[in-house]
Structure 1
């Protein structure tokens, strides 16, 4: 039987130990900071500000020592900061284990490890340590867990408890023989809809724990219903991998590909809460930065709006199909013999290199080399010509400036002006050579489309002539750019998180793999969460399926399940209010009275949202280019709500949705609500 009084005494002892370590570290920091400042001052005085050759040698010997001490000082500061945070909640659970070698031992599990400096024994175990799996296994008795480089280990779990600690005070203790559920789960789970996404490390379930600790040497596909913790699992997995590979991987080696612009801000606090640096996040749309400048790129939300009103979606369907991906791969495999297209390079109206000349270099002079080597040899061939033409232009411009009858500068100043002018003027040619822009990827793309659908090829050509690229053109052009030119790869990224993966076409996923060739992937999705009017899930491969939903009340989860005939998802949520139907006037009154900073008003589209915003003065209208997650009463088109959660959700014009055609859209939108869901009738 768990004794709350006994656990409270243990907590006080741990806090006292943290104070001792914190105070000792503070004193050491104060001392070493003074020593470091003194060493810097001494180095400057001895070596002086004017460093001679001899002094440079001496300084180069001192510098590594100073650098090492400064890095050590930063590390100590980080530990001190962690200790300060740890005192508020040193741990959140404990597990009593027994094995043949060490007998019975009680292990406390927290966000970070803590050692007793006098004995070097671990007082708290980091949740990412292998033995912590015994806690997350969610059952008593024999538990197997994996130790990297060692293999599977076995331990007998005798007791498992959860502790609710806030501001250094023990609020509650739960004896959990099975899993974190019922009262314990609801006490521990925070309604994350009140703020940005938080860590779920205190409530990780056994199935979630297995995903978090999956081997990082393979791709992982996780499918689950709304509220099953998919995105949170991904964040915990990042923290786990950073811990597991801390000597060779850091936050800069990871990237989160998000569903929309706001999502990066929404998840920004999770990793810092776990003591790790935030990783970069961007939506797929932002990869268009790797394509040629000068185009107007359609965003995802603009694309969805267009698709909803389009009379013909065949072009989108083709460009998102496995058929196009196969055609791209086949076409590229033949480019060594035929089919590559080149642009003529001009400087003003004068030819620098014609497409025919570039074709002759590629298929003639350098024909025996691989494609990427040929292009590099072409660069080498063009650089001296560029330098010669630039030098000649600078020389002629300098002469022209010097012939000006009035004084406009010294010869040296005029020569410098001529060089700046012509270098700037010739920059486009330099970029053409440097970035292989003379390779006409767009023309190659059009040739591929010509073989598949001439009408689609024609509409794409018209779009390119207008310098506009539709959202569905970004992936194939990016994939071709990388496959043909061999540029724009980011090899330093070692791990990718791809959220809402069911929204990605085979061409988009292939483009992502091409941009990040060294990255393993954790992919998260739900085949039924679809807001796109045309797309159907094309997910393939073996997946880990989650079936429990923790986010919403039982009533809301049951309602969302009924929309799509789902009989698999289990609701682990609390009971709450029933789903409520409101007239539009009742909605406005309810909204006026509502005191909450987590309210979403879901409109049909951007135009509808703008229309509603005019009569709701206290509501924040979210735009397509929103970059930060906003709290309060927010109004948005239905497709923008995906990925987020809110305490209160109002679905406007609910009665205008088609129960069959829009069922997956309604399922997605309704599942944004954690506690209260309102179905609002269209205004009469």
Structure 2
């Protein structure tokens, strides 16, 4: 539905505009009872908005009575309902006035289409002050057929002189929806008493919780003119500012709480410390949230997509920004660039396209428009509609800015080929060859940000390692990550990673590491695959000598315990297990066979002899403790290599990267017995700098992790040491079906002039390169200036730097040949200009002038670069120095100047023959392909899940009695029924279908008894226990910033009540182990009874006390504390150990007949949900599952924790457990109030017994 085409809104009245529908539900049964008919509540619901002639016919069929006097019953219902309304008054539905005022202001016409007669319609509207809002009032008496016939809406459209598709109908009941839909109107449902089923949902343009949400539907589709866009920008800026203000206020309140804690508690108080840690954690998260809000406020968005969803048959518009922006009801007004659907903005052309949601599958849309915005200082400067994102004009504008400014615009200008790499599944490996300036480093960092945003359940920041070639590159990466909302990622050089993998064996006081001396040719042999294979063979030979492969026979009996073939087979089948771990496992295998041999056999051993045998076989292969040194072992390997004729140095205590790789491999291959969990995904930048020795060792040591490897073989400045092509690495890493090699051809960094200069450098080499496609952006020519002496060289360098600074360039590099020259140049230059940190291990990338050796500049880029004194002596004409100078030249974004004295290197001075062309590697650009995703909601997967659930249900039914379920194949002729799903896509239970099926009239009974017609109450939920909810319904909508602070406290003999502005909280001790926690929204509401125990059956001792900050209720087994400032409930065991706490920021939320209670479960805490069978405990740790038993006998869902407590949820409807932190964690239960029971008991069996015996249904149920 495109609301731009809507010219009128037609409202139903009862249940939609005014809150009268509940009275119809109440008084139809009373009126019928007066005439001798018994109507259930479910039957009363079917009467909603039912007009003539359908209502009389429906009642007659319901009670199988053709003589039923409908008119008399209806008149009596009107009489008693009228008396009630006169006494109690009528309330206007939430948001009605706001919506009517909005429509009036927008010039959209309004009409009523109601089943109520004209007299009462006008009476109600005038009484409530609504009459003047409407252009037309249409009542059922004006047409031949009432709802669900389309007559009334067709008549309303004619009276408005509009086509049905120009009108929006707002309805609350199924009959009303069918009437409007069949008339051809766009139907919006505001459910009052009944949620739409799957069939009804297919007729809706939208479903909203309240009338004021309809305003958003009109504002959801902003116009296309500049005036429309400026209006939309101002509106979103207002929302972003409001979010920012609230975040600042939240931080202020937390700081106040911390100040209060300092006053109340001392440093040794455990409770105070827990509260302090909780508050500081909240403060840290709020401060990060503040950063996000500040980004959103600075530049709210940069893109927009308009599309049509074929399944929903609805048009949609989304704005896309660096971070997501939500309004006060948590509805998104700007999507985060990392959101799955945002991918179409970057990589798709107009028309049919797809996007993929992790764990849900692929979705198809019809993309209508992509628009890119240029926004500065809250002003819309320009916008562009294009078939590809970031057209050349806008991209060129961004690239022309200085380095610092460009970083802020990268997200807006991500190109299709970059986006494909960023959004590839983290469960696969990818190697990316990217030419200089293609954005490799930036793409890698955006990839991490994307993964953390979309794979929160699978990857945490600590699951990533970023590996770089030097500390300056890593410091640059450190500065970029917070801009991408990424914190806590570990970054290290390759040397530091291998040191980490040596664990306790690395002693910083004894051992050191140094950069490899790449001027020494003999060092190059240690970087290749051949060296690794020599080490692998050396370790294998050592293992062969250490683990005996011989038949092992039992004393006395002579029986074979373990054959040499079995030993050999075990060793062969476990190549990734260390030698010591193999020894321990072989000991276990052998000892088990030995125990089996001596147990129950006729041959016995004296105790002393048995003890000796026990010890012998428990450590037959060794005790699993390797007493040699990793360093000594490596030294022996080097000596063996020398004996084999290989020229290597044997160092005692200082090691380079390949030494460290070997040491880490030896530790993992020989010594390790207790593996430590390392990274799940490793990102390696400037990967061409490391030889295959590093990768072979890394692949072994971090077995099972995946990789994102970024590099450019053209920048392998030490030709013999790194990678000159990717072929060997591809064979090692890209072994999975979905692993990929990607190519970034386009260079966005350099101007055309700098790019041509750099390419001319490359033409001096004799090696193959990958193709380059420069982006057309012109600048100043590259200057090459000769200086007569050193003083002039220094003076011209200073003059050039100062000119660049006057031109506004913020990042400037002076690139020297090596560290010694860089240190000397920096020492001279700092007399005239400010120079950044010169210590290469401490230097950080940032504003100012950096003086660097060329080897430290890889992966970095600068506004302006000065190549310092590239003479023939320093850069002789060979392939290695060609690559070195290519790296130096391609660091420059806008300006490149070459200053030299003496003889300029021939690589820059000599012309390359015109006919010489560079050899190019053949490589295809990465394309979007099927990736490894945990798809759970495809048709095939759903069918498979249904079979599993069916088999489980059959086993359960065989245990408790009823007939088996037969899973029938789906048929197109009745697909909705075959699938048996609710509107959210989950399977609907057969029992639930029976429970809500159309009822039949009960047999008349003059005695007033209906024995034999009693039916056991069941759980009215469409969801089976263990069903998986759709992600779309996991996000809690509408909750934010409610006031839960406790205002007053009331203690009675049975319970303690605590009142806040949000509602009433009651704590009721049921037994010493069981506490009932109840809550109802509203300051005047009361806690009602449930189907379960409301208070203690027998009196027992419990206490309640109040302090400045807390309310405490304690029994012998449980202590409950409620923080006064936020109303969050905390539970402690008898030892005062914290077991569970509600979320301090927002403990609970109620809306639309649903209750959410938010808990702070620990990440490591294992949680299970109790099933129907005695041994059925379903793991729900970090998962989202329905835990109510839809369609089964009424009982409470039970959640159990390994920490020794349980939560029983008092609800007769759906209960959803969500342990996914993205959405919760929380427990959602249907009902008019929130009710759960906390049970403290360590023993699971006893806890379940308490649940079954103490928390039983009350007799009236």
1:371 corresponds, among 579, 584, 587, to 579
Cα separation, partners in 2 of 1:531 and 1:299, compared to 1, 3 Å: farther
User: Aligned-pair distance for 1:172?
Assistant: 2.6
User: Aligned-pair distance for 1:334?
Assistant: 3.3
Cα separation, partners in 2 of 1:592 and 1:489, compared to 1, 3 Å: farther
Aligned to 1:205: 415
Aligned to 2:777: 574
Q: Does structure 1 residue 664 correspond to structure 2 residue 883?
A: yes
CA distance in structure 2 between the aligned counterparts of 1:642 and 1:92, rounded to whole angstroms: 30
Aligned to 1:283: 493
CA distance in structure 2 between the aligned counterparts of 1:330 and 1:208, rounded to whole angstroms: 41
User: Aligned-pair distance for 1:110?
Assistant: 1.2
Contact 2:690/2:722 (CA < 8 Å) preserved in 1? no
Q: Does structure 1 residue 274 correspond to structure 2 residue 484?
A: yes
CA distance in structure 2 between the aligned counterparts of 1:113 and 1:473, rounded to whole angstroms: 46
CA distance in structure 2 between the aligned counterparts of 1:594 and 1:25, rounded to whole angstroms: 40
1:483 corresponds, among 655, 666, 669, to 669
Contact 2:837/2:844 (CA < 8 Å) preserved in 1? no
User: Aligned-pair distance for 1:560?
Assistant: 1.7
Aligned to 2:721: 535
Cα separation, partners in 2 of 1:98 and 1:557, compared to 1, 3 Å: same
Contact 1:489/1:517 (CA < 8 Å) preserved in 2? no
User: Aligned-pair distance for 1:615?
Assistant: 4.2
Question: Pairwise mapping of residues 58-207 of structure 1 onto structure 2 (< 5 A)?
Answer: 75=285, 78-100=288-310, 101-118=312-329, 120-189=330-399, 191=401, 193-194=403-404, 200-207=410-417
CA distance in structure 2 between the aligned counterparts of 1:255 and 1:198, rounded to whole angstroms: 24
CA distance in structure 1 between the aligned counterparts of 2:268 and 2:284, rounded to whole angstroms: 29
Question: Pairwise mapping of residues 166-565 of structure 1 onto structure 2 (< 5 A)?
Answer: 166-189=376-399, 191=401, 193-194=403-404, 200-287=410-497, 288=499, 290=502, 292-293=506-507, 295=510, 297-300=512-515, 303=516, 306-308=517-519, 310=520, 313-314=521-522, 316-338=523-545, 371-373=579-581, 438-450=627-639, 452-454=641-643, 459-461=648-650, 463-464=651-652, 467-486=653-672, 490-532=676-718, 534-537=720-723, 539-540=726-727, 541=730, 542-565=740-763
Cα separation, partners in 2 of 1:24 and 1:626, compared to 1, 3 Å: closer
**Greater shift in the superposed pair: 469-478 or 570-579:** 469-478
CA distance in structure 1 between the aligned counterparts of 2:688 and 2:821, rounded to whole angstroms: 27
What SS class does the counterpart of residue 267 from structure 1 fall into?
helix
Contact 1:490/1:516 (CA < 8 Å) preserved in 2? no
Aligned to 2:813: 600
CA distance in structure 2 between the aligned counterparts of 1:73 and 1:601, rounded to whole angstroms: 42
Aligned to 2:3: none
Aligned to 1:357: none
CA distance in structure 1 between the aligned counterparts of 2:250 and 2:496, rounded to whole angstroms: 46
Q: Deviations over 1:616-638 (max 9, x none)?
A: 33355734433422532222222
Contact 2:753/2:780 (CA < 8 Å) preserved in 1? yes
Contact 1:196/1:267 (CA < 8 Å) preserved in 2? no
User: Aligned-pair distance for 1:594?
Assistant: 3.8
1:18 corresponds, among 240, 244, 254, to 240
CA distance in structure 2 between the aligned counterparts of 1:263 and 1:633, rounded to whole angstroms: 16
Contact 1:647/1:675 (CA < 8 Å) preserved in 2? yes
Aligned to 1:415: none
Aligned to 1:680: 899
User: Aligned-pair distance for 1:275?
Assistant: 2.3
User: Aligned-pair distance for 1:133?
Assistant: 0.8
**Greater shift in the superposed pair: 600-609 or 223-232:** 600-609
Q: Deviations over 1:444-467 (max 9, x none)?
A: 334444554437767433x22xx3
Cα separation, partners in 2 of 1:373 and 1:492, compared to 1, 3 Å: closer
What SS class does the counterpart of residue 681 from structure 1 fall into?
strand
Q: Deviations over 1:430-456 (max 9, x none)?
A: xxxx99783233343344445544377
TM-score normalized with structure 1 length: 0.75
> What is the aligned residue count?
583
Cα separation, partners in 2 of 1:275 and 1:592, compared to 1, 3 Å: closer
**Greater shift in the superposed pair: 615-624 or 235-244:** 615-624
**Greater shift in the superposed pair: 270-279 or 607-616:** 607-616
User: Aligned-pair distance for 1:598?
Assistant: 2.2
Contact 2:426/2:451 (CA < 8 Å) preserved in 1? yes
Query: Structure 2: which 5+ runs fail to align?
Result: 1-222, 548-566, 572-577, 586-622, 731-739, 764-768, 904-1261
CA distance in structure 1 between the aligned counterparts of 2:252 and 2:405, rounded to whole angstroms: 37
CA distance in structure 2 between the aligned counterparts of 1:562 and 1:281, rounded to whole angstroms: 35
User: Aligned-pair distance for 1:40?
Assistant: 9.8
User: Aligned-pair distance for 1:203?
Assistant: 1.1
What SS class does the counterpart of residue 475 from structure 2 fall into?
helix
* Cα RMSD after superposing both structures: 3.9
What SS class does the counterpart of residue 338 from structure 1 fall into?
helix
Q: Deviations over 1:464-489 (max 9, x none)?
A: 2xx33344322112211221112796
What SS class does the counterpart of residue 518 from structure 2 fall into?
helix
Contact 1:583/1:681 (CA < 8 Å) preserved in 2? yes
What SS class does the counterpart of residue 460 from structure 1 fall into?
coil
What SS class does the counterpart of residue 568 from structure 1 fall into?
coil
Q: Deviations over 1:219-262 (max 9, x none)?
A: 11111101101110111111011111223432222121111011
Q: Which has the higher helix share?
A: 1
Cα separation, partners in 2 of 1:271 and 1:610, compared to 1, 3 Å: closer
CA distance in structure 2 between the aligned counterparts of 1:605 and 1:539, rounded to whole angstroms: 27
Contact 1:224/1:546 (CA < 8 Å) preserved in 2? yes
CA distance in structure 2 between the aligned counterparts of 1:212 and 1:63, rounded to whole angstroms: 42
What SS class does the counterpart of residue 530 from structure 2 fall into?
helix
Cα separation, partners in 2 of 1:145 and 1:37, compared to 1, 3 Å: same
CA distance in structure 2 between the aligned counterparts of 1:636 and 1:136, rounded to whole angstroms: 36
User: Aligned-pair distance for 1:281?
Assistant: 1.1
What SS class does the counterpart of residue 426 from structure 2 fall into?
coil
Q: Deviations over 1:308-359 (max 9, x none)?
A: 2x3xx23x2321111121222233233333169xxxxxxxxxxxxxxxxxxx
User: Aligned-pair distance for 1:567?
Assistant: 7.8
Query: Structure 1: which 5+ runs fail to align?
Result: 341-365, 378-433
Contact 1:208/1:233 (CA < 8 Å) preserved in 2? yes
Say which structure, 1 or 2, has more relative contact order (CA 8 Å, 6+ apart). Answer: 1
Aligned to 2:88: none
CA distance in structure 2 between the aligned counterparts of 1:188 and 1:218, rounded to whole angstroms: 32
**Greater shift in the superposed pair: 136-145 or 4-13:** 136-145
Q: Deviations over 1:254-302 (max 9, x none)?
A: 12111101122212232211223152211112233535335554433xx
What SS class does the counterpart of residue 257 from structure 1 fall into?
strand
What SS class does the counterpart of residue 543 from structure 1 fall into?
strand
What SS class does the counterpart of residue 654 from structure 1 fall into?
coil
Cα separation, partners in 2 of 1:90 and 1:613, compared to 1, 3 Å: closer
CA distance in structure 2 between the aligned counterparts of 1:446 and 1:34, rounded to whole angstroms: 60
CA distance in structure 2 between the aligned counterparts of 1:49 and 1:164, rounded to whole angstroms: 52
Cα separation, partners in 2 of 1:26 and 1:556, compared to 1, 3 Å: closer
User: Aligned-pair distance for 1:519?
Assistant: 2.8
TM-score normalized with structure 2 length: 0.42
CA distance in structure 1 between the aligned counterparts of 2:251 and 2:659, rounded to whole angstroms: 56
